[in-house]
Structure formats: structure tokens, C-alpha cells
Structure 1
Amino acid sequence: MAVHTGVSNWVLTVVCLGLSASVFSQAPYCTPTTGVTPGPNDPPFPQLPQTFQTRIEATIQDKNYTVSAEEYYDGNNNKATLTMYKAGEQFKLIFDYANDQLFYAYPDGSCKVDNLTNDNNNILFGNNVNGGKIHVFTTTGVLHFLQQNQIYMGRTAIRGVQCDHWRTCTTWNALNATFTLDYYFTTQQWVNPAGWPQIPVRAEVKGSQKMSDTVYVPFHHYYDYVNFRVEIDATSDVFLTPPGVVCPGRKQTRPVPSLKGAYIYREEIVAPINNAITEADVWYDDLYKLVRYDYRPQPNTPPYYNTDAASEIHDFNTGISYNMDKTMGNCTITPITNTSFDASINVTTSLSGKPSFVLQMKSPGQLFYLDNSYTFEGQRFARDMVCDVFISKRNDFKLGGLTLNATFQFFFLAKSYTEKNNEGNIDQKDTDIPIRLDITVSGIPYSARYNIYDFSQEHPELTKFDIRTCFDIDDKTPFKITFPGTFDAKVRVYREVFLFQSITLVSEATGVSPLRVQGVDFQMEYDQAFFVGTLLEKAPSISKFRKIQGKVLQYHNDKTISYVSLASDCADYCVTSNFTCNSFDYCPQSQVCTLSRSHTEDGTLVGTGGSCDHYSRTLGSAFRPEPDLQTVWEKLRNAVVRGLFVLNIQYDTATVAYKASDITSSVSLGGQRDPSSTGTLQHFRAMHNKYVPNYDDDIETGLSVDDCGAACVAEEVFVCNSFEYEWKTGRCFLSHFHPDDDPKKIQNNNGIDLYIRDYTSKFNMQKGTTVLSSSPVIYQGIYDVNECAKLCVDYHEFPCKSFDYCDEIGTCFIGKVHVLDVPKSGIKVSPQCDHYSRQYIDDFQHYKRKLMKMVDDRVITGLSLAECAKACVDQEASGCATFSYCGNYTECRLSGVSLSSAGQSTVQASAYCDIYSRKYFPNGKVYTAPVKAPAPSGYSGGAMAGLALGMIVLGVILAAVVVVIYLKASNKTMDDMKISFKRMDENSES
């Protein structure tokens, strides 16, 4: 009979064959037993389980060798496999009854596929037809134990185990053999490892195979069954072809997974040969043509040249890569290279008739090397999850600039599992979730495992593609577009749809890549909504071209420009030319720039150029010129003014159109505010992870939290009593609402902090005292000290300098006087009340160990620092912008000159003096120094000098008179304040 070479010969011997060295003539080995009736004392024939695994040691006595095998059988699920070991090598047969295929897995990693019905090795596990489907034998059939005509031979010991011995003489027509089959089972009294009543221990086959009418070949085999088990581990892959083995001709039984056009995932790359584990995060969007890749670059890799965490954003609308060092904050703009994992090369025909290569973005499947070359293997476990496994042998794997042959084994989450990630709502019924990818390269010791986590097939938010750090403040234009309408709770659930359409509309209206629309957000109030964002300038033209050093285009130049000083200028000529310019040559020595319609890549169409360099456009000729920032802003404004900026939102039952009514660029960007604004946060009380919905009067973007506070105190249109800050996006929400008026409206919101205007921060408290009990301005029903402080700050009839607050009776007294203005006799003890006097020093920025050169300063001695600050604030009419305080002799210098007034003052070092520059008015608004223009006069220089001297003397006299009157009116003595005056001039300064 014909048998397969290699492993199949061994398998047949395990069943019952093995040709001996001698051939002889005789009758059949034995006469088959028929009609045997069990004796009255014979035990019942053992019943075997429908699922088992066992190890078999086969001694082929007549051929002088021993083989072992691992046999797995699952009759319930119609599965069987056999793994054999001989002479140190392993072979495996997998029986695929569902698809009528038999797989031979060979030691060298190759695989052969045969039709199961016609294969000789189908005798191992059977080839029954049940209901029109091929099926394995029954259990006893697989073990070749017959349940009829057997003779009970009594009990005997096999390998020291007490066994029931059975014998039969039978024939096997398929092999034309007659033999005696002796088999031994543990007795029912013997406790076996499997926990089954009786398990096989040994089978002995002795007989002959008929070769002709007169020629028989004898054989004698022993089969010992070891480690017999009645179950198979559910996590085992014994019924699958070996991992990483591709079987040509395998039937495709499951479609290759198809990925959607956008996804987000994190990958863990395990490289055993290097003992290295690296991680990366990927955001992919085929609609926007954007890819973001966060990783750590290899050492000395441009453009980073370090191993700090990096983020690359590839814009396939323009062919530009934005490379950001996440540690240093640096950004380098370069062209996308053909070695990038997300780029593929498209071969076209150039004007010269020779091949031309341009880059394009890989499709969703290409990014994972998914194509029709994969075949479905079955299901395996990966990361403790059941996965559908696909395998492919391919020749396009790129590694270190090389293209290699590799085997890809891809694991996708089985349909029986459901994944719920934190990026959005995923419907597992129509989604294939990649879990793991194993790559093995042929010929070199390289393998890698890509574990894929948090896979979400949704469009990434454009905020994930943030390239604002790559542009200066002058290359950004913020905007806010207003939409009237009703935005109730039912509409707000569509916020992401509003945001997505708004970005798309801006891109279409302006003709720019969505990547140039940054810092986006869509905020809804009940009767209006705002789309805010920032427009970016276009990237430098040179970043759209790949440099091929020392080469020039050999076949076609369409335009030559002389006296071009830089390659970047040549790139500008190319992208703004009146024809489709796809490449250029630049020669720095001769300053010659030549433009060409031809496209090249990797030097395919170029030759040696000496000192000249060739620049090839990254993308193909379909690229359109980009407008500059001013043009983009004008186009966007025009679209809104002409009524073309309309959002069409599809709801469950209808489509509603929202037309933009207004657009403005009056939106603050981070970095434009005075950095000294950090002091404004002391005027607010923070509540973490809280917010008040539906009370936003203004929305600003791109701010730090202190800039947000500065925007609140500087607000002119309304009184800003609170603000919310979203830490992740830098969005700032200003509100007139003071949460203390209705604390029940405060709600939880992770990632957003609520800052409530704390008006008491402007005051110093003296507990248990009252100063204003006789004040005519009294508010009752005030049960919060902050509300009382706000009444003082907002009071307009007179400058409120202090207040008394009596908590137990809910009473607030507003007063004109500061505690420093009141004699000690006027301060009374009152356990029910507290006094708050304005803390003027908080309105100033402190500069240590510095002194301003005097310019018309007013100098007072004998004051404390707090009294000096008060004196500056009290002289509002005099415009006190700065004061210096010298602690060595308690000298207070009041000046109308601001530190920000360039050219008006000189700052010098001082060992004992500090400068305090005015930053805020008492009500918290940002201080602006008055601009004083010199009035024209008819006086000569000498007359002006005399007048100045006279005014100094008169000023001193008037100041003394005013102070004396002030002290008497305040019931103060000269001893209380200890104020004195002295004249200071340039020559007397220390």
C-alpha cells in the first residue's frame, strides 16, 4: 500500500504496523473470534471517556526501535491530534474534521496539508460520516479496542499494576492484517490517577499482514499508556497547528479582520533577543490624514539625538512631521520619511517615463500589515483572553531600513468577549479588536511581540494632535464663533458631533489641514454655544521636501531662478510656482534654484550633483498650496459673515441647522499676560473637582490657571465672581455667579477646579473686635463673611476701607476708616464680631534689595511697611504707582513712576531697601499707571528751575499743614504716628 513519507510512516506503526525483516508463507496469524459469550464471573468490558489525553510508548519489537506519542482526543467537539517523538525529533498531525483537512507539521517548521478523506492516516482516529459530516471514531475505536468477541483472560500485573486482561483475534481489512490484540485495563479496585473506573495500561499486537495469497509479514508491537487523563486543559492549543507555522493550502474559514478608519491604541513591544521592552502610543485617523506616535527614540537618532520621551505628529495632508521633545519642549519640523512606520511608497510614472516614488499614508489595515495573505488558525489564549488567530508569511516587513521575510501571527479578541474601554462606546458585534502580534524574521535571530492595549476604533480628538508648541505666539490667531439656539440637556450629548463638524467646516472653509486648527472646544449654554480654537501659520515650505544631498535631477528642469540665498527660499518658489512643482535643485555656491515637475525619491532619478542638493516633495502632485495665516483668518471670517458656516446636526428624528452668528479673535492666548499675575490666585478660594454648570459668561482658551484668575479680576464687561479651570485643556470659564449665593448649584466634575472670589483676602482680620459699631452703613441678613467683604469692595458712595462682621447676628458694618486711622480708644472688644481692615500690601509686586532713583518722590519716615502701602493707596489722586521702603530707617518713598514705564526710572541695588510696584486697585482690578504728558509752558529753563525750587518749598509746607489737620481730625497725636519730613535731592541720596 502507498504511504506518505516522513511522519506518516511513524504514525502507521503506532497504530499496529511495522514490517519485519523477514517474509514468510503461512495461514493467517489467528482465527478471528466470533460469537463469544462472556462468562458469568467475567467483569464488564471497560467504558472509556469521550475526551482523553495520554502518552503512548510504542515498542516496535520486530524493527528494534521505540517511539513515543502524545494523543489528544475530543469526541464531543470532533477534534484529534497526535504528536510523535523519535530519535530526538518531534512531529505533529492535526486532524481538522470540520474542514476535511489533515495537517503535517514537520521539525523544520514547514507544514503540509492533505485531504483528510483520502489520506492513509485517517485510520488513526477514524473517518466516519455522521449526518453528512466527517467524524472521528468512537473512543474505543480510536484506541482500537473492540467491544465484541473479546475473551476475558483473567487478572495479571502489568508494570506492577493489577489489570484485567482481554484478548481477541481480529482482522483489519484496511491493512489486510490478522492479529491477536491483548489489552490490559486497571481493575476496578485499583486507584488510578485519572479517577476513571478503569483506564488502559497496555496493548499488545501480534500478527501478520497479508502481502499476497501465500506471503505474510509478521509484526509484534507493545503499546504502553502512561499518564492517561480524562480531560484536556481548556487553555491548551494542542488541536492547532504549532505557533508560527504557516500551512500553504489551508482553507480560509474566517474573514480577515477589517479595521475602521480611525483608532487609538497603546502597544508594548517585547524584544527577547535584546531583553528590552518598549512602549508606544498611537493615534490614527484616516479621515483627517493624521497620525500621532509617542515613544522613546533610539540614541543619536535625528532630530532628537537623545532618548527623552518624544511625540511625533505626521500630517499626510502636507507631508510634514512635527517632532516634539516632551521633556525639553523643543519642536523640529521635518518632512515625513519613507522609513516611517505609517508611510508607504506609491510608485508612479514621472515625466521622464521612469518610475517615481511618493509617500502616502498607510490604510488602516496596512498599518497592521493586514491583507488577504492571512489564514485563520483557530483560537488561542493571549493575555488570558480567547483570541481568533491569523497567520501570514510575508516579504515586506521593514526593520532598520531593510525589507525582510517574516511570519506574522495576529491575535484578535474572540467574538465571545466584549471590550469596554474608556475612550468611547464600542460595539463588539462589528468590531475586531487586535490583542497581540508576534513577528518572527526568517534567517536572523529576531522576534518581537507587540501587545496591544486600549484599542478604540473612534476618531481621536484633535486636541491629541497638538502642535502649538511648534509655533510662536505671532503665528497663532485665536477665534471664537458664536451659534444662537437652544442647547438643552438633550442637545449637549451631541457635543462631540458639534465639535467634529466645526473642525471640518473650518478646514473646508479655509482650505487648510485640520492640524492647523488647534486648541478646539465646543461649549454650550442654554441659549447659545461657542466654538473656540486657534489658527496656526503654515509650516515652512522646506519641510515639505526631503533633501537628497549631493544629487541633482538629471532629466528635466522647468524653471531656473538665480540669486537665491537659501534653500528655504527655493522651496518657497517651488510651492508658489504657477505649475505643479514637485522637486527642486539648489546650489548654494552659485545661488541657483531650479524647479521641476518631476518627482523623485531615494535618488531614483538623480545623479551626482557636486555641491548641489536635490529636494523632493514628500507627497505627490495632488498637493495644493497652503494659504498663510492672514488669508486663512479672512476666509473663516467671510464664511461666517456670508452665512456659510452652518452645522447640520442629525438627531434621532430630524436634522437641525445651526448657523454661526458671530466670529471674533478677542480670545486670550497663554503667554500674552503679565507673568506677575500669579498673585491673583490669592483672591480666590479653590474647590477641587467642582464646577457650576450653565453660568459661563465668557470662555477663554490656552491659559494657565493664574492667567485665568487675572482674566477674572480684569474683566470689564461684567463683575467676575468665580471661574472654572480645566487642567487638561487649559480652558477658562468666567462667571458673574458667586457660588456662595447658592452652594447647592456646585456639582462634581473631575479635572475641573472651581475658584470662588474671596473678597476677604484683601483684608486683615482682628478677631473679637469692632471699630465701626457707629457706622451709618449697615447690612443685615448677611451670613457669610465673604459676602460682607464683597459689599465693602463694591461700595461706591465712599472708599470702603474696612468692615465689621458679626456672625451670630448676621450684620455687616461698612466703614470709611482703616484700623490704622483709628486711635486705640476707638477699637473695642466684641466677642460676637470681627474687624477686617484692607490689606494694602497685597496690591503690590515685591522686588527685594532694589531702590528706584528718585523722580519727584514724596518721602515719609517713621512708617511701618503696611502704613507705607496704605499711604500709597490712599493717594489715588496723586497716582502713586510705586513705593520704596527702606527698613533701616523706616523710610517710605512714594512715586508716581511705574516700573513698567520705560525710560522714566532707574533701578539700582540697595542693601536695605525694597521696591513695591503697584499691580492692583483696591477692588482687585489690574492697575494701569496713568500716562502723564508734560504740559506746554512759556517759561524758560531758568524760570522752570526757580519755579521747581519754589514748588518744592511750598509742597513741604503744604504737606506739613495737611498732616497736622489730618491728625487733629482723626483724634491722633503726633506721638501716635511719629511722622516727619525731610528734603531729598540727588546729592543727598545714599
Structure 2
Amino acid sequence: MDSQVYTVNPKKSDFSSFTCVTTELTNNTFLPFGNDNGHIQTAKDHFKFGDKYNETYVGQVHPEGKTIDHWRTCVYEEESNVTYTLDSYFDADQQGPTLPVRVHINGTAPVHSNVTGDPERQWFHHVYMYLNVDIGPRDLEVFYPPVGVICPGRVNDKDVPSIPVNFALNVEVVVPNEKKIYYSKEFYHHEAKIVAYEMLPRKGKIDQPIRAVHDYNTGIAYRISPTGTCHMNPIPVGAEDAVSRDDEHVAMRTPASLFALHDPDVNWVYEGMTITRDAFIHAWQSLRIHWKPAQHRGDKNILVNSTWMYYFLDDDWSIDGGSVHKDKTALPLRLEIMWIAHKRHTGEVKDRGKEIHNFYQPFEGPVEHHYFDVSDCYTHTNESLPLAFNLEGKDTYSKYVANNTRHFKSGVIQSLADSIGVSIIRIAHLKVVDGYKDLATVFFTLLDKPQIEGDAINATDPGPELDTSYSLLQELINGKDGSMLILEFIYHNKVTKVNAASSTLREETEPLIQTKQVGLTTGVASGIAIGTFVLGAAIAAVGACVVFKYKTREVPYSVQE
């Protein structure tokens, strides 16, 4: 219990049509339902009606054709030296528990409550009319300030949800000032220290996005155009997923930091439940002073105040095709940012604006590795090597892969990378095929080390050259000294292991034969695509979008204007 009073006034502030004042409950001199150290009075005590008040039944009156019961109570409040008669009127036709429809108070009170002895007294007469009386429990949101109203000093009484460590999101960013809507996708793999984006270009086909991959193991950013052209550079210090302490080296933001949910300068306060996008959601709000919109970043002469409101879906709701709540973590449904920029020295308002981030199809868990694929950056034949090896056990595929594809592939990629000391970004195009030469077979492409260096904090060694990396794998799988490659993955929420079959590593491209493999076959996929074309056209809609816009340079994604 926070023991606070929020007084909301219809006076405009920078961000809403209301202002709010927060005070301590014990500092209020008058509260309708009591101010005794935060203890709420019962309805009987509030209305001074019940057996202990010795009320007297006066009779019935009939205003406007209604039958009203009239009761009278004489009250003396010793602490305040106030004496009054209390006349309560109840609807005689109301069945069950009820409240008065009208109350009259006539009495006397000291003119100055701090005067001792027998101070001068004054008469008072109060009339209370109770309209639209509703008996029963109330929804909790009526006890919170209106959503969108900032109450400075308010104590948070409900923690904001934790963000999962691995997730994918489609996001729509609406910027009313610019009359534009931006779309892209984000894939966040905190455990592997990799972030990827897909952003639609201003011109070109809608199914050919620009892709950006940030590998925080090495500090390298890969930017791949729709035509496959690749640029490799150090991850920019100003990237939204990066944090830097020296304006030179970068580290990957934690999931909470990416959403600014656990930053030390941000105090998130629960605003209650409301309805957004026709769904029941819980809202958290904060006032921020260290964030700036893109057009003001880097300008030290501009100060920006902003309010951020996150909306999280209620526990009773779920999202088809995605996930929202898992292991007490959640991804938001919406973010609203309102900001106002002032000139530092004069306080003059420079401009103001608003951004709405709508998050669609949030997914928690291992992200499909192909979203982090940078093989387009390795176009020469000596920069990549197609490889394959078998798995031990004839039932390995049916037992561990068929219904556990995402976790199995994620684990195999990480195990391969760890075994030879490279980033997982160098393991590309991994597929698992069943029944090829009577065993489950893993096909993948091993990429060479990047030819540039990044500026990541505690950067790991990018690993050996391609030939050396291949030799290390040969020693593990094809070696004669008893060594083996152990592959770890999650199965039924437990770490499980399988071995690569000895002496099976070879240079081989995935065969074009009819086999069982992870994912849909071409025929099945085509059938589904044709069968769902109409539905897909109706609901695929806004496509992709990003958590925070990739603003290190001019906005690269397509725009609706």
C-alpha cells in the first residue's frame, strides 16, 4: 500500500489536459472515507449509520412520487468539538444493501479549531445528493489516475514485466508530426549477442528488405541491400541496441535497457488497466529527461522532456501465432512517446511531437538463425565452405528434431561455434535432413573470419581463418584420437546432448533429393501459400516493423505518407 493521494485537476500540462499533485495520505485534512493513517472507513462509519450510532426512524416522505425513509442521528465528534444532526434519506423501494440518496447535516463547529477554552462557534448546513448509486465491487482502474496523466512523486505499486532474453517483434512506428508510418522487424538474441533488423527500402519491391545484423561478439555491423550488396563496419556508437561508456567501444543493451524499462533515471509507475487496440491491457508510465528524438540527438542546446507509456497485454489474453507471457516475462503491445523540446538557455519551446510504436506478433524464445545470416557478405569461393556430418542414432531425428526444430538448430549452431571458437554468425544455412544414408544429417556453411575489426567492449576473438576452422572440426569429428563433437540443445526444458557420428565430416552441399527435413517441403509450402493467399492478403497487412528505429543515419525504411 503506497499511502498516497492523487489529486487530478483539469489544468493543461505539457503532455495532457490534466495536472496531478501527489501528497501523503496522512497529510490530508479531509478525506471522505477517512484519513486515519491510511485506514479506510466502512460505509457505515462514513455515513454515521448503524446500530452504534443510535439513529431514529423519523418516517416516510414522498418527493416526486417516490417513497423515501427518513432517519436521524445526533453526532458529537470530540476530537474536533463538532456537534450536528445527520438526516439520512433512503429509497424505500430498494431491495438489499443500499446507500442514502440524500443526506442533510446541521450543526455547529469552532470558528478556529486551535483555540482553547470555549471558542466562538459557527453554524453549518450541508446537503449531499447521491446520484447514479452503484452497489458492488468496482474495477481497480477507477482507483488510479487517468491513463496518460503524470503524478510526480507517485510510488509504483505494480512492477513492470520483465523482457525475455531472446525475442522477435514486428513493429509499426507512427510519427504524426511527419505524417509518416514506418515498418520493420527486429530479432534480438541476447545469449548469442546478436541483433538483426529487416527494413523496407524507400524504393523497390516490398518483399526485398534491407537487412542489418549487429554482432556484438566482434563489434561488427553488417548491412545487406536487397540486391545482396554487403557493407561491413564497426557497430555505430549511436545504434539503438548499443550502449557505450567512452563514445568509442560498444556493448549490447540488455533486454530491459533496450526498452528503457530498468534504466536508473527512469521511474516506471503502474497506471492501471485500460483498453487499447480493443484488448485489455496494463499500462506503465514514466517521465524521462535523458531521451531525445532523432532530430535533436547530439544538439547540446536542446533539452527534451518526454513521457513514455508502455502497454502490456492482460494475462487472460493471448496472441495467435506469437507469444506474450512466458516464465513471468512479457513483450509490450504498444509504446506511446510524447515529447517537448526547450532551448537550454531561454526555456523557449522549440517544438513538440509524438511517436506511437505498435508491436505485432511478439515471439519469445530462440530466434531462427537465418535472420542473422550474413553469407551474402562472403561471395568468393574461398570465403565459405559447405559441410555436412551425420548424427549418432537412427531415431535421433524423430526423437529430438522433428518436434523440437527451433531449439535443436539453435543448440547445434552454438555447439559448432563454441567447438572451434567462432561467433555463431559464421555458421550459416544450417539444415537437418532425415533418412539420408540412413542417418540424420546436418548440412551447414562455414564462413571465413571477417576482414575488419569492430569496437565491441570485451570483444571475442573472431576465430581462426576458414581453413584452420575446418581443420579443427575435422579433428573433433574425423580424428583418430577418440575426440568427438558433442552437440547440446534444449529438449523438454532440459539440456540434452547428442554426438556427431565419428568420421562423417565432409565437404558436401545439401542434396536435391526427396527427404524429410526441418521445415516444410517446397510442395507443402506452395500448397499452403496458395490456400492462404486471400487470408494472408487480408491479415499480413502492415508487415514488418522495428522496436526502435535504426537512426544512425537517414531513415532507411519505406514510408507511407
TM-score (norm: length of structure 1): 0.44
SS in 1 for 2:243: strand
Q: CA deviation digits over 1:751-801, x for unaligned, max 9?
A: 388xxxxxxxxxxxxxxxxxxxxxxxxxxxxxxxxxxxxxxxxxxxxxxxx
Separation in 2, partners of 1:385, 1:128: 38
Higher relative contact order, structure no. (Cα contacts within 8 Å, ≥ 6 residues apart): 2
Contact kept, 8 Å, 1:377 with 1:389, in 2: the verdict is yes
Indicate yes or no: 2:337 matched with 1:337.
no
Q: State percent identity of aligned pairs.
A: 25
Q: Residue type matched to 1:450 in 2?
A: H
Q: CA deviation digits over 1:536-595, x for unaligned, max 9?
A: 344442xx5xxxxxxxxxxxxxxxxxxxxxxxxxxxxxxxxxxxxxxxxxxxxxxxxxxx
- 1:177 corresponds, among 76, 79, 82, to 82
Q: Give the corresponding residue for 1:478.
A: 386
Alpha-carbon distance, 1:658 to partner: 3.9
SS in 2 for 1:525: strand
Separation in 1, partners of 2:496, 2:355: 51
Q: 1:289 to 1:368 in 2, by over 3 A?
A: same
SS in 2 for 1:647: strand
- 2:503 corresponds, among 661, 666, 669, to 661
Q: Give the corresponding residue for 2:554.
A: none
Q: Give the corresponding residue for 1:142.
A: 46
Q: 1:445 to 1:151 in 2, by over 3 A?
A: farther
SS in 1 for 2:477: helix
SS in 1 for 2:162: coil
Q: Which stretch of structure 1 is more off in the superposition, 459-468 or 284-293?
A: 459-468
Residues 908-987 of structure 1 aligned to structure 2 (within 5 Å)? none
Separation in 2, partners of 1:650, 1:136: 51
SS in 2 for 1:228: coil
Q: CA deviation digits over 1:408-454, x for unaligned, max 9?
A: 3333344x436476468x87453334333332324553233333333
Residues 127-166 of structure 1 aligned to structure 2 (within 5 Å)? 135-143=39-47, 148-152=54-58, 154-157=60-63, 163-166=68-71
- 1:311 corresponds, among 206, 211, 219, to 211
Separation in 1, partners of 2:164, 2:56: 63
Q: 1:242 to 1:381 in 2, by over 3 A?
A: closer
Q: Give the corresponding residue for 1:357.
A: 248
Separation in 1, partners of 2:440, 2:417: 20
Residues 351-750 of structure 1 aligned to structure 2 (within 5 Å)? 357-371=248-262, 373-377=266-270, 379-383=272-276, 384-400=278-294, 402=296, 404-414=304-314, 416-417=315-316, 419=318, 422=321, 428-443=326-341, 444-472=351-379, 474=381, 475-488=383-396, 489-492=398-401, 493=403, 495-525=405-435, 527-541=438-452, 544=453, 618-620=455-457, 622=459, 624=461, 627-642=464-479, 643-648=483-488, 657-667=499-509, 699-700=510-511, 708=512, 723=514, 750=524
Q: Residue type matched to 2:336 in 1?
A: D
Contact kept, 8 Å, 1:498 with 1:647, in 2: the verdict is no
Alpha-carbon distance, 1:279 to partner: 3.4
Q: CA deviation digits over 1:247-272, x for unaligned, max 9?
A: 45544544443333211222233444
Q: Residue type matched to 1:320 in 2?
A: I
Q: Residue type matched to 2:294 in 1?
A: G
Separation in 2, partners of 1:333, 1:290: 15
Separation in 2, partners of 1:727, 1:485: 17
Separation in 2, partners of 1:628, 1:656: 27
Contact kept, 8 Å, 1:483 with 1:530, in 2: the verdict is yes
Contact kept, 8 Å, 1:498 with 1:522, in 2: the verdict is no
Q: Residue type matched to 2:30 in 1?
A: N
- 1:264 corresponds, among 168, 177, 197, to 168
Separation in 1, partners of 2:43, 2:252: 55
Separation in 1, partners of 2:378, 2:499: 35
Indicate yes or no: 2:4 matched with 1:101.
yes
Q: 1:530 to 1:751 in 2, by over 3 A?
A: same
Q: Give the corresponding residue for 1:125.
A: 33
Separation in 2, partners of 1:200, 1:345: 63
Q: Give the corresponding residue for 2:107.
A: 207
Where in structure 2 are there 5+ consecutive unaligned residues?
A: 298-303, 342-350, 528-561
Q: 1:150 to 1:462 in 2, by over 3 A?
A: same
SS in 2 for 1:459: coil
Separation in 2, partners of 1:203, 1:271: 52
Separation in 2, partners of 1:422, 1:397: 33
Separation in 1, partners of 2:237, 2:157: 35
Alpha-carbon distance, 1:362 to partner: 0.7
Alpha-carbon distance, 1:458 to partner: 0.8
Alpha-carbon distance, 1:363 to partner: 1.0
SS in 2 for 1:126: coil
Q: Give the corresponding residue for 2:195.
A: 291
Contact kept, 8 Å, 2:146 with 2:271, in 1: the verdict is no
Contact kept, 8 Å, 1:241 with 1:377, in 2: the verdict is no
Contact kept, 8 Å, 1:487 with 1:525, in 2: the verdict is no
SS in 2 for 1:506: helix
Indicate yes or no: 2:531 matched with 1:751.
no
Separation in 2, partners of 1:479, 1:374: 51
Separation in 1, partners of 2:495, 2:149: 53
Q: CA deviation digits over 1:46-75, x for unaligned, max 9?
A: xxxxxxxxxxxxxxxxxxxxxxxxxxxxxx
Alpha-carbon distance, 1:369 to partner: 0.7
Indicate yes or no: 2:130 matched with 1:240.
no
Q: 1:401 to 1:539 in 2, by over 3 A?
A: farther
Q: 1:727 to 1:502 in 2, by over 3 A?
A: closer
Separation in 2, partners of 1:752, 1:646: 36
Q: CA deviation digits over 1:456-505, x for unaligned, max 9?
A: 32121212222333442534321112234332533444554543333123
Q: 1:515 to 1:222 in 2, by over 3 A?
A: same
Alpha-carbon distance, 1:343 to partner: 1.2
Separation in 2, partners of 1:321, 1:650: 29
Separation in 2, partners of 1:267, 1:655: 36
Separation in 2, partners of 1:423, 1:525: 31
What CA RMSD, in Å, does the superposition of the two structures yield over aligned residues?
4.1
Q: 1:316 to 1:203 in 2, by over 3 A?
A: same
Indicate yes or no: 2:93 matched with 1:188.
yes
Separation in 1, partners of 2:418, 2:435: 26
Q: Residue type matched to 2:259 in 1?
A: F
Separation in 2, partners of 1:636, 1:440: 53
Indicate yes or no: 2:320 matched with 1:320.
no
Contact kept, 8 Å, 2:435 with 2:515, in 1: the verdict is no
Greater Rg, structure 1 or structure 2? Answer: 1
Separation in 2, partners of 1:441, 1:307: 34
Separation in 1, partners of 2:99, 2:66: 11
Separation in 2, partners of 1:307, 1:104: 52
Separation in 2, partners of 1:647, 1:307: 35
Q: Give the corresponding residue for 1:229.
A: 134
Separation in 1, partners of 2:517, 2:497: 31
SS in 2 for 1:396: coil
Contact kept, 8 Å, 1:726 with 1:751, in 2: the verdict is no
Contact kept, 8 Å, 2:484 with 2:500, in 1: the verdict is no
Contact kept, 8 Å, 1:481 with 1:662, in 2: the verdict is yes
